[in-house]
């Protein structure tokens, strides 16, 4: 998992409340058993004017010019600004996969759905909860200033605006540790690989019959 320490990026505004996971990545794209390739279908039903199916070449589809991520001023955005209850609906982990694979590194909203919130941390995305008034002000500034960027300092737990003003946010210490180190669940386990190998070697030495294999 990619480490998250300090990130500065262009902000894209998703000015809708209660954006659910089926809107983030529609159900037809859940057929894939791979954990890659979901970025082109992020917000698929809003992003394109034609119906999408797995395996389609995005270049052959009709983009919706009114959708925020298709507008030239938001190309390359890596911070998504959203309204309350972002990520509600089903618990599909494909939603943070799609956001990450599109290029987003952080999400800012007044509130997130619980399961989606947890899945973000497990996949290297930083979901930041800020008071609704602060989020509303950020929306105003993003709309007013093309090229609007924010800097996110996870170590200090602040969002830094272009004028230098800082917005503090909370993050649970263990989740912060995992993001700073780039540790997903497997990565946390692999930190103890030497101890695991030593245990297995000791176990095999004490009980060698456990290493036998039945021959059919």
Asked if residue 208 belongs to a domain, the reply is no
Domain housing 60: 6-183
How many folded domains does the chain comprise?
Answer: 1
User: Rounded to an integer, what distance in angstroms lies between the CA atom of residue 8 and that of residue 6?
Assistant: 7
Asked if residue 104 belongs to a domain, the reply is yes
User: Rounded to an integer, what distance in angstroms lies between the CA atom of residue 140 and that of residue 37?
Assistant: 33
Lowest average pLDDT, out of 32-36, 55-59, 188-192, goes to 188-192
Confidence of residue 62 (pLDDT cuts 50, 70, 90): very high
Segment 135-191, tens digit of pLDDT: 999 999 999 999 999 999 999 999 999 999 999 999 999 999 999 998 876 666 656
Of 184, 120, 187, 176, give the one whose Cα is nearest residue 4. 176
Asked if residue 69 belongs to a domain, the reply is yes
What CATH number does residue 131 fall under? 3.20.19.10
pTM score of the predicted model? 0.86
Asked if residue 90 belongs to a domain, the reply is yes
Confidence of residue 34 (pLDDT cuts 50, 70, 90): confident
Backbone angles phi, psi at 137, to 5 degrees: -65, -40
Q: Would you state the pLDDT for residue 100? A: 96
Segment 64-122, tens digit of pLDDT: 999 999 999 999 999 999 999 999 998 889 999 999 999 999 999 999 999 999 999 99
Asked if residue 216 belongs to a domain, the reply is no
Asked if residue 192 belongs to a domain, the reply is no
Angle between helices 173-181 and 114-122 (to 10 degrees): 40
Asked if residue 201 belongs to a domain, the reply is no
* Contact by Cβ (8 Å): 105, 4: yes
Asked if residue 124 belongs to a domain, the reply is yes
């Amino acid at each position: 998992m990619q480490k998250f320490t300090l990130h500065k990026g262009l902000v894209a505004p998703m000015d809708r409340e209660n954006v659910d996971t089926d809107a983030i990545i529609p159900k037809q794209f859940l057929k894939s058993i791979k954990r890659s390739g979901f970025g082109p279908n992020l917000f698929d039903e809003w992003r394109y004017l034609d119906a999408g199916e797995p395996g389609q070449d995005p270049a052959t589809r009709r983009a919706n010019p009114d959708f925020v991520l298709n507008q030239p001023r938001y190309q390359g955005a890596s911070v998504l600004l959203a309204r309350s209850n972002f990520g509600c609906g089903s618990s599909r982990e494909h939603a943070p996969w799609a956001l990450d694979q599109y290029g987003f590194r952080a999400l800012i909203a007044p509130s997130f759905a619980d399961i989606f919130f947890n899945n973000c941390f497990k996949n290297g995305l930083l979901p930041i909860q800020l008071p609704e008034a602060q989020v509303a002000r950020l929306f105003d500034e993003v709309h007013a200033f093309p090229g609007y960027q924010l800097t996110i300092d996870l170590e200090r737990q602040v969002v830094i605006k272009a004028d230098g003003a800082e917005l503090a946010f909370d993050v649970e210490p263990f989740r912060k540790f995992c993001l700073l180190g780039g540790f997903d669940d497997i990565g946390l386990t692999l930190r103890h690989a030497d101890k695991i190998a030593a245990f297995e070697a000791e176990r095999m030495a004490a009980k060698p019959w456990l290493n036998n294999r039945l021959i059919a």
